[in-house]
Amino acid sequence: MDDIGFPPLWLRDNCPCAGCRDPASGQKFFGITDLPADVAIASVEWAPDSVVVVFSPDGHRSVFPLGWLKARRHGEGDARAEQAKTLWMGAALQGSDHLGTPGDTFPAFEWERYRRHDAERLRALVAVRGWGFALLRGAPTAEGTVLRVAETFGYVRETNYGRLFDVRAEAQASNLAFTRLAISPHTDNPYRDPVPTMQLLHCLCNTVEGGESVLVDGFRAAADLREQDRESFERLARTSVPFAWSDGRHFLHANRPLVEVNPEGSIRGVRFNNRSMGAVALAPAEATAFYDAYRRFAELVARPHAHVSLRLEAGDCLIFDNTRLLHARRAYAEGEGSPGGRRHLQGCYADLDGLESTIAALEALTGLP
């Protein structure tokens, strides 16, 4: 019974003893080349919930909890990350594709409860991780509230747009988002590398006709593409696409694929925004095949029953995963066409690592799984 299922160097590198790692920080004292190159297992002794390994040539002794080892078997990490996500179709979420108040299964939470109760905040953040988004309702309608919301789970990612940005119709719009035009499903800022992995949109007022929000699960669309047309999926995953944006002062560009996959093959991110997508530099046959795949993916994104529609009301704040969720807005009328109508959102960016960290901290604090 000497085969633990982990190689000697793996075990030695992961020894939990106080000589190998700082008990305070858990960080390792050594680098990989500090270990004997010919490290081997000299003996193994099984206990009910641990295993004691003695290594040669230096006789180092390590005690590994069996639960700890089990959780680190081949493929475990990726499988757990996938299990934390629920891929969805809008029709199933809402029951129908009408506009209106989100139903029971729609991840929506009240700001006051969210703010006051750790368990409620944990539920909301787990929903963001699982569904890719959640809606907070009843937040204040003061300017800058979006930053306060972001600070409940992470750190604001400042960009050339500022710590926050105003989304309202402007005369000289540097971005179609700042007009009354419809914008089709997209992820934000694909021209950054890395992209802001989380986004918030907070509604200060919305009394216009139109301007409804639409959300699409980009992971579901990518997973469906993989199932229906594996070759197209793989083509998108291996083709770098140039994205760019400039206002004459900032010159942003990134060259990344539309679909990003983990080394294990699971879907890691989508980057989807035709507004700022540039010209791919490919040989003609490759370009044809790329556009064929891109179009198929876009058709899956455009399926009406994949969409969730909602109308952001004053005090609503959408929190979403910008590597997964695509968001859109219908056109709206304001000013002459719609007297008294006004629409003003504020947005900001943050990152998924902060979300994950806050979920873990709240789990530790509340004792909830």
Residues contributing to the site for Zn ion (CB under 5 A): 15, 17, 19-20, 188
Q: What are phi and psi of 60, to 5 degrees?
A: -65, 140
Q: Taking CB under 6 A as the rule, which mask of x and - marks residues 187-226 in contact with ligand OGA? A: -x------------------------x-------------
Options 197, 329, 354, 355; binder of ligand OGA; rule CB under 6 A? 329
Beta strands in the chain (DSSP E): 40-46, 50-56, 61-65, 108-110, 133-137, 165-167, 183-186, 198-206, 209-210, 213-217, 241-246, 251-256, 259-261, 267-270, 307-310, 317-321, 325-329, 332-333, 343-350
| Separation of alpha carbons 215 and 196, rounded Å | 18
Q: Which is nearer to ligand OGA, 15 or 150 (CB)?
A: 150
* Distance between CA atoms of residues 69 and 303, nearest Å: 44
Q: Does 183 bind ligand OGA (CB under 6 A)?
A: yes
Q: Binding string to ligand OGA for residues 122 to 161, with x set by CB under 6 A, is what? A: ----------------------------------------
Q: Are 330 and 180 in contact, with CB atoms under 8 Å apart?
A: no
Question: Which CB sits closer to ligand OGA, 188 or 224?
Answer: 188
Contact between 321 and ligand OGA per CB under 6 A:
no
CB of residue 86 to Zn ion, shortest distance in Å: 23
**Interaction partner, residue 66 (Zn ion, ligand OGA, none; CB < 5-8 Å by kind):** none
DSSP output for 186-203: E-S-TTSSSPPSEEEEEE
Give phi and psi for 10, each to the nearest 5.
-60, -50
**Closest to 321 in 3D by CA, of 72, 129, 42:** 129
Please work out the total of residues on this chain that contact ligand OGA, with binding judged by CB under 6 A.
Answer: 9
Q: Least distance to ligand OGA from the beta carbon of 247, Å? A: 15
- Residue 343 tokens read as 């629409």
Instruction: Quote the CA–CA distance of 42 and 47 in Å, as a whole number.
Output: 17
Q: Which does 15 bind (CB under 5 to 8 A by kind): Zn ion, ligand OGA, none?
A: Zn ion
Minimal distance in Å, beta carbon 213 to ligand OGA? 5
Binding-site partner at residue 17 among Zn ion, ligand OGA, none, CB < 5 to 8 Å by type? Zn ion
For 74-85, letters b (16+ CB in 10 Å) and e give eeeeeeeeeeeb
Shortest distance, position 16 Cβ to Zn ion, whole Å: 7
Per the listing, tokens 């719009």 go with 173
Question: β-strands 209-210, 332-333: how paired?
Answer: antiparallel
Q: Which does 167 bind (CB under 5 to 8 A by kind): ligand OGA, Zn ion, none?
A: ligand OGA
Residue placing its CB nearer to Zn ion in the complex, 188 or 334: 188
User: If contact means CB under 5 to 8 A according to the sort of partner, which of Zn ion, ligand OGA, none does residue 20 touch?
Assistant: Zn ion
Question: What is the C-alpha R_g of the chain?
Answer: 24
Nearer to Zn ion, 114 or 332 (CB): 332
Pairing of the two strands 61-65 and 267-270: unpaired
Task: Select the binding partner of residue 321 from Zn ion, ligand OGA, none (C-beta < 5 to 8 A, by kind).
Answer: none
The answer to whether 177 contacts ligand OGA (rule: CB under 6 A) is yes
The yes or no reply on residue 347 touching ligand OGA (CB under 6 A) is: yes
For strands 183-186 and 251-256, give the pairing.
Answer: unpaired
Closest CB to ligand OGA among residues 239, 273: 273
Smallest gap from Cβ 167 to ligand OGA, in A, equals: 4
The two beta strands, 61-65 and 317-321, are unpaired
| Site for ligand OGA, rule CB under 6 A | 167, 177, 183, 188, 213, 327, 329, 345, 347
